[in-house]
Amino acid sequence: MKLNRRKFIKRALITVASVEAFFLLKGSVNKINTSSGTAELFNAGKATAFENNKLYPFLTGQFFLKRFEDGGFLAMSIKCTHLGCIVNTNSKTGGFNCPCHASQFDKYGEVVSAPATRPLDYFPITIEKGELLIDTKKPIKRSSFDKSQLTYA
Ligand code: FES
């Protein structure tokens, strides 16, 4: 069966919305007691539910959760570091495109194309009882990607 461009885009959007809805139903925001006080953390679900080398959008949490080839997790902000527009995923590159002024980011959130000058912010991830807890109140600015930003189950 041959898909035209409109049908393909429609199906792609439905797929992304379905994945988001699935993880939305699984995920929730929990108040967690930490050593530094009570924090509101977004519960993305069991680490084992995420496949390597895949990207999972959590638009209500305002982050994309990427699990890399080696199993490391990175929760990247959906906000462009230029002027804060919401970036789109780029299925061809595995990265992100900003619809506002055409900045492009790679799969690590690093800038590929200006006007953005720094990578997408990322959020701290902790793992408790096998569940990924993302602290969406603490975006971390960075000048480049390095492996210390990844969290492993
Ligand atoms: S807000 Fe993204 S490129 Fe300007």
Question: Residue 67's domain is classified under what CATH number?
Answer: 2.102.10.10
| Cα–Cα distances in angstroms (integers) from residue 132 to residues 7, 34, 43, in the given order | 34, 15, 6
* The predicted structure's pLDDT at residue 35: 44
* The predicted structure's pLDDT at residue 4: 72
What is the tally of structural domains in the chain? Answer: 1
Percent of the chain with pLDDT over 90: 74
Q: What is the pLDDT of residues 4-39, one digit of tens each?
A: 766 655 665 555 555 554 554 445 555 555 544 456
- Average pLDDT along the chain: 86
* The predicted structure's pLDDT at residue 88: 97
What residues does ligand 1 touch, defined as CB less than 6 Å away? Answer: 80, 82-83, 85, 98, 100-101, 103, 115-116
What is the domain range of residue 74? 5-149
Ramachandran angles phi, psi of 12, nearest 5°? -65, -45
- The ligand 1 atom at the shortest distance from the C-alpha of residue 98 is 2
Comparing C-alpha atoms, which of 72, 19, 44 is closest to residue 135?
A: 44
- pTM of the predicted structure, to 2 decimals: 0.79
Instruction: Find how far residue 77's CA is from the centre of its chain.
Output: 6
